[in-house]
Amino acid sequence: MKILITGGAGFIGSNLVAYFNRHTPDVEVRVLDDLSTGRLANLDGLSVQFTEGSILDQSLLSSVTRGVDAVVHLAAIGSVPRSVGAPRPSHDANATGTLNVLEAARENGIPQVIVASSSSVYGSNKALPKSEFDWTRPMSPYAVSKHATEGYTIAYGFSYGMKTLAFRFFNVFGPGQPADHDYAAVIPRFLDAALRGEPVTVHGDGLQSRDFTYVETVCATIFDAVQRGVSSLDPVNLAFGTNTTLMDLLQRMESALGCQIEVEHADPRVGDVRASQSDGLRVKELFPSIVPVDLDEGLSQTIKWFQSLKDA
């Protein structure tokens, strides 16, 4: 078996490469990444065929796609604030890039394409928990680009009979997630500050909630989808129904670290969703063997990784 992971040098992608290496070492894993946010060092020690390049390069994309059995499309420009500041790069990478991936797969007769969408597509819909059949109303250019990502993927399933699957990721976290950039996700940003003994910045009142999903759970689900050839003509929330406020998250971090974390509040960020929680029903139905790693265990493993960096 051969698979292509776009964005495979990034946080989720490199964890997925490692997961395939551990569980099916005979599978040939190809990675395409332009290293704009991913890091080649993330693939150190892994068995992978790496190609540096962009999903906007259609010729290169078609070449690396040829002959694989499945494509896992993770390449994207993430971050709501980044998209608000510069919407066109998010559109080009996330919307046009996804169309390119799907076209390369169609032209090469690839049996399965799995893509990463985002819970941000729900936007201003305040219903909790969220079902894949709830209405969506994106609040940021990033959310719009991810809506296009899943929309194109599902449309290719209907139009061309391709086996496609669009996962809506919900605040994925874990080892390998960087904190050293302006658009770092909340958990690495909080942990990095706490381990440095610096105040943690919370935008807004801290009562906004998220359905945090440990990266190992995400990898296990994608792996299962590839192994069994799972497809769906509806999006699938890749989250399991947790609902944690940022203030609760900080308390859990304090407990795990054994120290008090100083908090500074700042203005809310434009485009941020107030509350996010999946009902977890479809993912449990489609992937009954997956047992999600709980938040406290995931935090423990993530803290160990951050501490290893500090001690290095």
The Cα–Cα gap between 247 and 244 comes to 8
Angle subtended at Cα 51 by Cα 48 and Cα 56, rounded to the nearest 5 degrees:
135
pLDDT band at 282 (very low <50, low <70, confident <90, very high): very high
Whose tokens are 């490469």? That residue is 17
Domain ranges of the chain: 2-172+214-241+277-292
Task: Give every CB contact of residue 33 below 8 A, 6+ residues apart in sequence.
Answer: 6, 7, 8, 9, 10, 13, 50, 51, 52, 53, 75
What is the reported pTM?
0.95
The Cα–Cα gap between 5 and 299 comes to 26
Give Cα 169 to chain centroid, integer Å. Answer: 5
Q: Phi, psi (5° rounding) for residue 65?
A: -80, -30
The Cα–Cα gap between 302 and 296 comes to 10
pLDDT number for residue 311 = 67
- Span 71-95, mean pLDDT? 95
CATH 3.40.50.300 describes domain 2-172+214-241+277-292: no
Please provide the average confidence, as pLDDT, over all residues in the chain: 94
Q: Please state, as a whole number, how many other Cβ atoms lie within 10 Å of the Cβ of residue 264.
A: 10
Give the 3-state secondary structure percentages of the chain, helix then strand then coil, rounded to 5: 45, 20, 40
* Least trusted range by pLDDT, from 16-30, 38-52, 64-78, 253-267: 253-267
What confidence tens digit (pLDDT) does each residue in 133-166 have? 999 999 999 999 999 999 999 999 999 999 999 9
312 against 18, higher pLDDT: 18
Q: Could you tell me the CA-to-CA distances from 301 to 51, 208, 215, 308 in Å, in that order?
A: 30, 24, 11, 11
pLDDT band at 220 (very low <50, low <70, confident <90, very high): very high
- Span 260-272, mean pLDDT? 88
* Helix (H/G/I), strand (E/B), else coil: 3: strand
pLDDT number for residue 270 = 83
pLDDT band at 284 (very low <50, low <70, confident <90, very high): very high
